[in-house]
Chain A
Amino acid sequence: MPRKEFDLEPMVKPKSVAVIGAAREEEKVGHIILQNYINGGYSGRLYAVNRNAASDILGVKTFKSILEIKDRIDLAVIAIPAQYVPDALEECGKARVKTVVVVSGGFAEIGETELQDRIVKIADRYGIAMVGPNCLGVMDPRSRVDTLFLPTYKLSKAQIGGVSFVAQSGAVGSTVLDLISEEGFGLSKFFSYGNAAQVDEVDILEYLMKDKETKVIVMYLEGIKRGREFIEIAKKVTRVKPVVVLKAGKTAAGVSAAHSHTASLAGSYEAHEAVFRQFGFTIANDVSELIYYAKIFAYEPEPSGGRVAIITNGGGTGVLTADAVSSTRSLSLGEFSSGVSKDLRVKMPALVNIRNPLDLAGDADAKRYSDAIKAVANDPNIDIILPIVLFQTPGADSRLAAELIKIKQTVNKPMVVISMGSQYTQMHKIMMESGGVPVYDSPVSAASALEALYRYGLYLKRKQ
């Protein structure tokens, strides 16, 4: 059944926010949410609502009911016990609130489907877009909207970026958010939509597809509510931007009591996977893969082919990376053209063998890397440049990291760095990623990310 599209813009970029259930008690969810808005530096108009209200909470003007607020509210965050939610929502409707996030739990997830149906009916009747219940809600570091009830000291804030992350589960959602804060690519939007009572993954995909700030969509899914509609949006969205998906439930039993081989082979998880593959989603198998794939799509254009050049300051790691690249379905090591080989021979010291992987030796410095990458970047036989920088070696330091950032701007092929190590390496990883160079911590993760990038490019180029 076709249904109307929800406008999620006022939820993500609200000019006015009311926190219903804001409280003085520090441990209360409503308190944390209000506190986060204040800490986050939200610059719109902020109101608190509490039935037993004092005149203000945390210095925010507080009302007994949302109906008392004279302002038109773009987003109301509801964080009160489940049984009071219908009344609060009814008042939101009367107050012409545009969007609502129901953080409260105690609905369908514990069998209270009737209560959930009631709030959906109220939201529908007033035309309110409602995310939740039983969710973390939304976050947008640009507009500084943050309905998450997680104390800021426990959850590091991601930088502003182009990756939007959608997670049905709040637990996986907050973990990934925390992990993303260590990545250079940064966050555009975060949605944790819980029970998906009204707004669901299809609506959110539709919104993110059109959202100009979102370059890459990353999803964690447990189930899909509207399969056919999901297929329709899936077809459209991957034409516009890459989508990475992690789906839970792989081990769930297949179709029980199947009468055919087909049904016993192809259960529900397989059906989901089939849809993802068919419409060009990149499938991740765990949380770390989600991040690897998000990173490659955030930083790199699709390559024109699958031939990789490995440039390393460690022989063993070069071989491991060659193995990882060759183990993928579609990537291979390229062979340097004779022109580039000659060029390299002139520029490289005698101890460097001119072949792929190109081992620059343990004393390689910024200059040697720079000469090698510039030469290889012009090679028509090479589509992807994969420098390995082991910062444990004498020649590798911040000057090399800075040089790679500089070269990256002149290279118009995908270029990804592998650096493995602890503190000193991590410091340079952050430096390089802030400068636009994606850094991977293992040959296998870099190779599978590049493979995903290449395959997405093939999907885009396909003829129907």
Chain B
Amino acid sequence: MQLEYFKAKGLLDKQGIRSIESRYVGSAVDAVKFASDEPIVLKVISEKALHKSRAGLVMTSLAGKDDITRAYSGLERKARQLAPYRIIAQKMARSGIEIILGGREDPQFGKLVLIGLGGIYVEAFKDFALRVCPITRYDAREMIAQLKSGKVITYSGKAEKIIEDLLLKASKLLEENDRIKELDLNPVIVREDGYDVVDIRVLV
């Protein structure tokens, strides 16, 4: 079962994993209000949708009342067949490198933590590294070094440190929450000055 978005967000908050400001919106007006003149993202959240962007269930860079209203009704139309669903509005993350942070419970070895090149590249390149929880900082470093895209996602020392910290926190999150069966933070947008977790999926 997929954990409700804000419950999942709450689990991340507790580990100090910061996710982007979000709110459910029930109407286009609601979404416009949330935006308060900043660009936003609208997404459909449904158990039935794993590949949201591919299915056209994510609309980004929405600025202004008209833009948001049009996107909202478009999403509503597409989401009908995915009911029950909700529409979530999020602030736009500034651009950076997209990674995936994940985890799952393995019947043999227990909790595993994963990092990889994120966003739309996950399935295409399958470039990821995996370890058993708990991991050490050495493990986190080795995981990043193991990625073919390692040098891309750690383009600076600061970004590398941010990703290492995130991996250690994700490992702790998985260890401390027995009931988490699967975890996807995808994408997490990493920049020199910080990061934003943009999408959260927790299965319990």
Contact = CB atoms under 8 A, between A and B. Distances in A.
Chains A and B bind each other: yes
Interface string B137-162: 01100100010000000000000000
Interface stretch (B13-21, B84-92, B101-109): B101-109
Interface of A is mostly: helix
Contact of A255 (B104, B108, B110): B104
A262 B139 CA distance: 18
B112 A274 contact: yes
What is the interface of chain B mostly: helix, strand, loop, or mixed?
A: strand
A227 B112 CA distance: 12
Contacts, number: 87
Contacts of A277: 131, 142, 146
Interface string A169-191: 00000000000000000000000
B184 A262 contact: yes
Contact count band on A: 20 to 34
Interface stretch (A69-77, A140-148, A206-214, A265-273): A265-273
Interface residues of B, number: 34
A261 B102 contact: yes
Nearest to A225: B108
A266 B110 contact: no
Interface string A263-303: 11110101111110110000000000000000000000000
A259 interface: yes
B182 interface: yes
Given A260-B182, A278-B139, A464-B138, A268 B112 contact: no
B58 to A, nearest CB: 15
A72 B49 CA distance: 67
Contacts of B106: 227, 268, 271
**Would you list the 4 A-B pairs with minimal beta carbon distance, nearest first?**
A262-B102, A227-B108, A274-B130, A260-B182
10 contacts: A255-B104, A260-B201, A261-B102, A262-B104, A265-B114, A265-B126, A268-B106, A271-B108, A274-B132, A463-B138
Interface of B: 2, 50, 100, 102-104, 106-110, 112, 114, 116, 122-123, 126, 128-132, 135-136, 138-139, 142, 146, 182-184, 186, 201, 203
